[in-house]
Every structure is written in structure tokens, then in C-alpha cells.
Chains A and B, each alone.
Chain A
Amino acid sequence: MDNVIRRRTPGARMLRAGLYALLMVMALVYLLPLVVMLLTSLKPLEEIRAGGLLSLPDSLTFAAWLKAWGSACTGTRCEGLSGYFMNSVSIVVPAVAISTLMGALNGYALTKWRFRGANLCFALLLFGCFIPFQVVLMPMAQTLGWLGLASSTSGLVLVHVVYGIAFTTLFFRNYYVSIPDEMIAAAKLDGAGFFRIFWRILLPISGPIITVSVIWQFTQIWNDFLFGVAFAGFGSQPVTVALNNLVNTSTGVKEYNVDMAGALIAALPTLVVYVVAGKYFVRGLTAGSVKG
């Protein structure tokens, strides 16, 4: 039930009905591509050719999903997306964990162990949030080459960590700034040092902002295409790059159902994360100071 007193004249009601109709149409427009993708991925190829983009499948089949997962051709190899999906996982998990942890440490140092130049440091870090990916491609490729990490999973993890730290630091700094300094002072007097205070006092109350950072980083890194296509080797390409190859592989007939299934597979993790943890994301973004 909504909680607003509004005018009840016929004109006002008409206006509301119109408003709802408009909202519904807009929602439909937004959802339609997803619906088409889902329907197409569940149809056999003949049925798609027969037309009827929006018609429900006559014969429901998961063959396209299985093929996209296990045997579709991405370029010269025909092993489906599964391997690349795993590549993505092995990039995303360490990259998210490391960038979140480093963001937390940065935010902690910037707010609770204020050193000369801390503000400048933070301002420079913030620049990182505004640098477009394309700008760093060349220097990054060179750096990875020097480090001997070119075309490797670790190289990609490093790139994503470096790029993500700007954001995670921003999140954690803004969260920790609202935590009273006296709490840290009390811990110092109790005899705890820099890391002890971090592990024992601060991290246990950082749940909301860790959630935000993890969701944000997960989505960013999982959906990344540019770094993946630029820096990954054959064995370390993420699922987004593989999806591109799958769709662009030009041998034989165009299998729309497999393409759609592949796209859904690639998008599923971020969808799941948002559905499962979305409300914590919003809650974490608005979380104020932790009351003692």
C-alpha cells in the first residue's frame, strides 16, 4: 500500500492510469531485448528461421545452451564457452579480492593514519576513476611486457586491480571517514598496531562497504571486454572476448539461438550477483557511520 494522500477527482485518476500505462510500456521496452534473447535461445534453429521473434517456442530445447557451453566454435577452437567462463572466474576472483582488500587498506590509512599529503594522495587516486580504459592500453601493454606478465591471467588480474583501486579506495575512504577516530584511538591505547586495528576493529564492521566494493568490482571486471581482448593470451581470454568470437565466427550458418544462449551465459553471473546482493549494495552505499 502506498502512503500518500492524493486527489481523488476523476481527472486525477485518469492521469494516474495514463502514468501507469506509460511506465508499463517503458518497462516492456527495456525488458523486450532480454525476453527475445531468452526465447530465441530456447528455440530450435528452424523455428527461428520461420520468423516470429516474439512467439513462444513450439518445442522447448536446451540444445543451444548446451552447445554454447560445450561445443560452439569460438574462432578456430570449438569447445564452447565453458573454458573461457572459467578463465573469467580465475581473473575475477583474485582481482576482486585483491582490489577490495587494497581499497580497504588505502581507505583506512587515508582516514585513520593521516599523513602529510594524504589529501593530495587521495585526489590523485581519484583521477583513476576518470581515466578512460583506452588511454592506458599502450602504457599498460608495455608495463605488462616489462613485468613478464603479458598474455597471462596474472597480467589481467594486475590490470584490473590497478584500475579498480581508485574506486575501491573511494568507497572505503568515504565509509571509514564516518567511523569515529576515538574508536581507533582507544584501540591504539589498548596496544593494537596498524594491522591489528584493521583486522580486529575495522574489517568486522565493514560488511556493507565490502559488499558494495565486491559487487562493483565483480560487475566491472566480469563485463570487461577491452582489457580482455587487449591483454589476454589464448589460454586466458575471458568469457566476454570468447562471446565476441563465438558470434563473429563466420563458418557455416548463423546460429542465433547459440549466440543468444552464449550471451546469457556471459551475463548470468552479474545478474545473479545483482539479484542476490542488490539490496545490500543499495544499503551499503547509503550506510552512514557505525553506531557503537
Chain B
Amino acid sequence: MSALNILHVDKTFGNTQVLKDISLAIESGEFLILVGPSGCGKSTLMNAIAGLEPVTSGDIQIGGEDVTWRTPAERDIAMVFQSYALYPSMNVRQNIAFGLEMRKMPKAQREEAVARVADLLQITPLLDRKPSQLSGGQRQRVAMGRALAREPQIYLFDEPLSNLDAKLRVEMRTEIKKLHQRLGTTIVYVTHDQIEAMTLADRIAVMRDGEILQLGTPDEVYNDPVDMFVAGFMGSPSMNFIPVTLVSRDDGYVLRVLDEQDPTGAPLELPWPPAREAQALHEWVGERLILGVRPEHFVEDETRMETSFDGTRLDVMATVVEPTGADILLQATLSGTEVTMRLGPKSQVAAGERVALRVDMSRAVLFETTNQRRVA
């Protein structure tokens, strides 16, 4: 049985429709992550689940019961906010116990619960402090403690880590993952952080303009995107989009890369892997399409022996070289299109030099130019 079931939910503010026919089912114990550009309705959806905003139409079920018109208090949900939203006048202990007190839990049990989550989150020494006496990371823990103490059916996290510095964010991310594995809680989590989304989620829902474009495992969303938006949104640096024309040859399909600047030169041609000749591909012969290749699907030619794939050879001019430490990001022009590539840290490429590369076409994707849907 699904822990949370959202059925055809619409939400309008005045004349703007912020949520458009959203349907979702989340299994008990599942970790669902909502991603999408700013203003796409993620927080609105969270507020609708929590009961902080009424939906315009549609139903919300929690644990099989219809809760569409129940107050937040009646829904058995806890939420962790980006701003933490701790009660400034109460100390940490009271902050954590407040929800239990409101639910009429006896004092002894309340103290037990506070001690339990304080231990779990290692905030026992902070219990008698006021929120104003805590650091950002500590406040974040207290906010989580407040949610955990109640043991609700569903946890909602709205960008809980975005106010923390990079190092603390990674630590808390790991901790949230551990907590989820240990407690088996059902979580809906909003984030802007690609890595947070990929590492934490059981499933990711990619939203845009109040719609869910794709709902799938991190692997599906990353490697098998439904359209150009999802493909471009997931992954950092994002996927390269290269305009091509599909050409049919005796030995299979070929993608001819169009060079707007130099239409007379010999066009670059990339063979489409025979193993991936989709049934529908022949309809697109002679048409313009968009080829999607992720930065890590390029490999420097010298290093080819070390990697398993047998790519197609390319020769490009490096324009910008950005070492990130773990690897090197290379900007280059590929037949007139700016392309980003991720090379190994040992690469000796310098800006202005020509580089020999191989591209792994077996993981490339193709999109329609008009509505940006996936072709193959």
C-alpha cells in the first residue's frame, strides 16, 4: 500500500496555475526527491501534502485515507524547512518536545523521545540552549530532531541543507541517508543539489511549470531522460546538445553534425550504434535532430586503452580548461557548437591546443528539435 497517494492535484493562485494535474504514489519507506527549476511548484506541492495550502482540485491520501480536507495537525506529517523555523523562545528540548506535547504525550514519554532523538543526532549537549545560540548546522539538526521525535508517517524536507556550507552539507547528506536506511522512513525531499538528488533518492521526480515531466530512479532519470529538459536539468555540468542531421547508410545510421559557420567544409559524422537502432528511427532520416552527449562520455584519445568503450574519434580545439581537482572540464568547439567535456585529472590539455577525443555513442541520446521529446 502506498504511504502517500496524490491524485490529479491542481493548484491555482489567482489566475496562475501552479500545479497541473499532479499524480504521484509513494511507497512506504521510499525516498522521493523533487527537483526542478525555481518557481516550478515544488514548495507548493509540499505545502499541499502538508495541508498548509488547500488544493484547488484533486485528492491526497496518506496511508490509504483521504486527507485532502484535513488540517496539518490531523495529517501525521513532519516537515523540515529551509529556514529551520525553530521556535526562538523555546530551548532545544522544548522545541523538540513541542509537537509531542501538542499531541498530549505524557511528560515521561516526551523526555524519553527527546533523549532518543538527541542521542541519534548527537545534540544532547545542546538541549538547554536557545536556537539563537546554535550554529546553522546545529539548528538544522534540531529541526530534524523536531521532525524525528514525532515519528510521523511521512517526512517532508524542503531544501533542508541549502543554508549550510559545502562541507557540512555533504556530512548532513550522508547522515540523512543513514537515518533513512536505519529508520525506514517515508520521505519527500526537495533539493536544488544534483548530487543530493542522485545520492539520496530512491526515485526522482523532475518538475517544470507545475508538471511532473519524469518520475524514475536516479539511473533512469540520468541515463534515460524523457526529453531535453530533463536531460539538461540533471547532471552537472549539463548534457551537451549538438544539432545533427540523421543520415541513413548501408551499414546503419549516421549523425551528421551541422556546422553553421562553415557549411562548405567536410561535415563531422558520428555513427549511431547499431545496437540502438530504434524502430522509429527511420522516420527521422534526413531530419534535423538534437544529439545529447554527457561531458563524461568523452575520453581523451591517449587514455582510450584504459577505458572499456570503443568510441568514435574526434578532433577538437580546446578553448577553456577548468581543473576541478578530481577531473578537468574542457570547453571545446565541435563543429561550431560549444561542448563541455570531463577529462581525467592527468590530462595535459591546455587552452588553444587541439585534442584528440573519443565519444561514447552507445550512451548518447537523440531528441526532436520541435518539442524536444526523446527520439532514441
Contact = CB atoms under 8 A, between A and B. Distances in A.
Contacts of B132: 291-292
Most buried by B among A180, A186, A205: A186
A179 to B, nearest CB: 9
Nearest to A189: B72
Given A191-B99, A191-B102, A186 B85 contact: yes
A192 interface: yes
A201 B83 CA distance: 16
B83 A205 contact: no
A183 B73 CA distance: 14
A190 interface: yes
Contacts of A145: none
Given A185-B79, A185-B81, A292-B139, A190 B86 contact: no
Interface in B76-91: 77-79, 81-90
B341 to A, nearest CB: 42
Given A200-B98, A205-B88, A188 B83 contact: no
Given A189-B73, A191-B73, A192-B73, A183 B85 contact: yes
Nearest to B134: A292
Contact of A185 (B52, B98, B99): B52
Contact of B89 (A185, A192, A204): A204
Given A290-B88, A292-B84, A190 B98 contact: yes
A191 B79 CA distance: 12
A230 to B, nearest CB: 42
Contacts of A189: 50, 52, 72-73, 75, 77-79, 99
A193 B103 CA distance: 11
A189 B80 CA distance: 10
Contacts of B85: 180, 182-183, 185-186, 292
B139 A196 contact: no
A187 interface: yes
Chain A interface: which size bin?
A: 20 to 34
Nearest to A203: B89
B89 A188 contact: no
Nearest to B149: A190
B81 A292 contact: no
Interface string A66-106: 00000000000000000000000000000000000000000
Nearest to A190: B99
A200 B88 CA distance: 11
B47 to A, nearest CB: 8
Interface in B119-147: 131-132, 139, 146
Interface string B45-84: 0010011100000000000000000011101011101111
Interface string B5-37: 000000000000000000000000000000000
B72 A185 contact: yes
A193 B71 CA distance: 10
Interface in A186-233: 186-193, 196, 200-201, 204-205
B73 to A, nearest CB: 4
A190 B94 CA distance: 12
A205 B79 contact: no
A50 B49 CA distance: 84
Nearest to B81: A182
Closest 5 CB pairs of A and B: A204-B89, A191-B102, A190-B99, A182-B85, A191-B73
Interface of B: 47, 50-52, 71-73, 75, 77-79, 81-90, 98-99, 102-103, 131-132, 139, 146, 150
Interface of A: 180, 182-183, 185-193, 196, 200-201, 204-205, 290-292
5 contacts: A182-B85, A183-B85, A188-B71, A189-B50, A190-B98
Given A182-B85, A183-B85, A292-B87, 13 more contacts: A180-B85, A183-B86, A185-B79, A185-B81, A185-B85, A188-B52, A190-B98, A191-B73, A204-B90, A291-B88, A291-B132, A292-B85, A292-B132
